[in-house]
Amino acid sequence: MNRMIQPIGLWWDGRSAREQRMLGVMALLIAAVLIWLLAVRPAFAWRAAAAERRVEATASLTRIEAGLSGRASQEAAGARAAMPPSMNLAEVEQAARAAAEAAGLSVTFSVDGDGGLAFDAPGVTSAALFGWLAALKADYGVETRAVTVIEKADATLDAAGVLGG
């Protein structure tokens, strides 16, 4: 082992003090880059992936809770029959409010100029919003005519649209 290290020592001793300092700084820079690439970047990537998994898990939990509350309301009220496709505006609003309450959404309604029911749902999750719209279609026969969705920085949505019977 000594025979392998001895030539390196001789080579190092053959360098001037200035060259030794420059080689030492270069070795420190290489070590810093390796630490960055092998330890720091993977830690940051792990943290970002954990945040993404948390958002996905929260969306899944919201979807599950909306499904459970929908089932609970169905069991409490008995099996609901889908309303006929020619619902008037008051029936559409009543069905939309009931489904929004079951999904835990805060939705405001107004009359649309084309005879539909306009809705505004600020600060909702995508799972809750689209679960609500799917429940309206499946449980009440209420069609979604238009939806506009804007994603906010906190991963919630501001949604507006038009429903019809």
pLDDT score of 82 more than 50: no
Give the Cα separation of 151 and 27 in Å (integer). Answer: 47
pTM of the model: 0.48
pLDDT in tens, 19-69: 999 999 999 999 999 999 999 999 999 999 999 999 999 988 988 888 888
What pLDDT does residue 75 have? 67
- Per-residue pLDDT of 99-156, as tens digits, reads 888 888 889 999 887 778 899 999 998 888 989 999 888 888 888 988 999 988 888 8
Cα diameter, the chain: 95
